[in-house]
Amino acid sequence: MDVIRIRGGKQLQGKIRVSGAKNAALPILCATLLSDGESILRNVPALKDIETTGELLRVLGRNVMVDPPLVRVAGGPEANPEAPYELVKQMRASVLVLGPLVARYGRAKVSLPGGCQIGSRPVDQHLKGLEALGATIRLSNGYIHAECKRLRGAEVVFDMPTVTGTENIMMAAALAKGRTTLVNCAREPEVEELGRVLNKMGARVDGAGTDVIHIEGRDELDPFDHAIISDRIETGTYMVAAAAAGGDVLLENAPLEDLEAVVSKLRATGVEVGREGDCVRIRRDPDRPLRPVDVMTAPHPGFPTDMQAQFMVLMCLARGTSRIVETIFENRFMHVPELRRMGAEIDTDGHTAHVHGGRPLSGAKVMATDLRASASLVIAGLLATEGETEVLRVYHLDRGYEYMERKLAQLGADTVRIKGQPG
Ligand code: EPU
């Protein structure tokens, strides 16, 4: 297993380009199932999750060419609408094929995703939405079996905003007969992006990116050619990395408008964030202490849960105590024990963490537990002023960050990947 070694204490300077958004690309890849012919996706990041989705689409009967930033998916009316456990267990987002498969092929058998490190992550809202559109759902032997000759438009009120749940039902509704109204939808930019693609395919989606979405279904949809939006979480991660290490960094193609909650917290702590053309500039003088700020995660446009771990590392630098509350996932403080091993002083009580900042971090061997936790440990390594950090199990990082160690090295960090170490 690969390890990332970081020798900290270096300021970051220079410019890097933000990659395409993983969480926008995944549902859009699944949307290719809704039509015949060849769809083309551009600006797709080179990530493990993209490869896994490509593999899944192949198993379902598609011809897939993954050559990031380009992906081509082609297929016809025949399919094998079964998503096996072996693939779904690698990536929970595989459940995003459920809606398209049942809408297009009248039936789907998709392994029920289990929990993961960050929480139990049920899919009841996905199933409830499909049932409202007329599908019969049966769970047996760890699989979801869904069937319906032709889905029909309906009203679905989600119990909570769910990102992939909203996306799954949007895709199903795009081939349903009649009009669907989805209420209490997730408002994430990735949902809005899927709406744009479904519209390119010929569906009439209105309101994606707000909490009420209307979809006029069609009998058939067309293939599409689409360039994926930039990754807001990758952007936020590098903003925090630059703020933590200090220096002056430009992020090209950064979707600043999708990151307001993060930017406002960065400014509140004393980091300079400004727009320059299509770049975002982040500046921090490492000699000026940061102020502690409190953060509570919330669905978009609130502070993203996917930025919580990284921001917690930044708060380790602030003089004083900051309070971080995680409201989306029940087990998303797995980075805390690892950060403590590096010298951080953090107490947790249920969903709340108190970070007592201002103490120097020192390098250590630490274990990545999930994708965003891995990124937080890399950032912690950047600001450790003494010793070197080795982040183990970086396969988590490779699921969602394109060449992270190389991008950081491009900014002057001392970060290298050591291939094939015992993990
Ligand atoms: N929930 C339910 N029932 C459902 C669906 C969700 O109870 O049927 C709950 C979840 O347990 C959670 C909350 O609703 O408490 C929100 O979860 P959501 O469904 O929005 O999460 P998701 O769609 O599974 C996506 C991202 C995650 C990101 C979350 C929250 C993708 C592929 N994944 O997951 O991204 O953390 O939204 O913003 O879009 C990551 O990239 O590292 C990552 C984990």
5 neighbors 390 (Cβ within 8 angstroms): yes
Residues 21-39 pLDDT 10s: 999 999 999 999 999 999 9
420 burial type by CB count under 10 A (0-12 exposed, 13-18 middle, 19+ buried): exposed
User: What is the average pLDDT across 182-209?
Assistant: 98
Among protein residues, the one with the nearest Cα to ligand 1's atom 7 is: 122
Q: Which residues line ligand 1 (CB under 6 A)?
A: 23, 26, 93, 119, 121-126, 160, 162-165, 186, 190, 305-306, 328-329, 371-372, 400
- Written as one letter, the residue type at 224 is F
User: What is the average pLDDT across 58-86?
Assistant: 95
For the question of residue 316 being annotated catalytic, the response is: no
Among 55, 105, 99, CA closest to 80? 105
Residues 359-404 pLDDT 10s: 999 999 999 889 999 999 999 999 998 999 999 999 899 999 999 9
Token pair recorded at residue 295: 């953060």
Burial annotation 193-218 (CB, 10 A radius, 16+ → b, else e): bbbbbbbbbbbebebbbeeebebbbb
What is the average pLDDT score of the chain? 95
What is the C-alpha to C-alpha distance for residues 411 and 266, in angstroms, rounded to an integer?
20
Cα–ligand 1 centroid distance for 65 (angstroms)? 28
Amino acid 78: pLDDT: 86
The yes-or-no verdict on residue 114 having pLDDT over 70 is no
SS3 10: coil
CA dihedral sign, ordered 342, 346, 347, 348: negative
What is the C-alpha to C-alpha distance for residues 155 and 181, in angstroms, rounded to an integer?
5
Burial annotation 248-279 (CB, 10 A radius, 16+ → b, else e): bbbbebbbbebbebbbebbeebbbebeeeeeb
The pLDDT-based confidence of 222 (bands split at 50, 70, 90) is very high
User: What is the average pLDDT across 184-190?
Assistant: 98
List all residues 6 or more positions away from 388 whose beta carbon is below 8 Å from its beta carbon. Answer: 5, 6, 7, 8, 363, 381
Amino acid 77: pLDDT: 85
Token pair recorded at residue 225: 């050619």
The yes-or-no verdict on residue 120 having pLDDT over 80 is no
Q: Which atom of ligand 1 is nearest to the CA of 190?
A: 39
SS3 161: coil
167 neighbors 29 (Cβ within 8 angstroms): no
Residues 135-159 pLDDT 10s: 999 999 999 999 999 999 999 999 9
Amino acid 117: pLDDT: 75
Residues 4-17 pLDDT 10s: 999 999 999 999 99
Amino acid 423: pLDDT: 54
Cα–ligand 1 centroid distance for 122 (angstroms)? 9
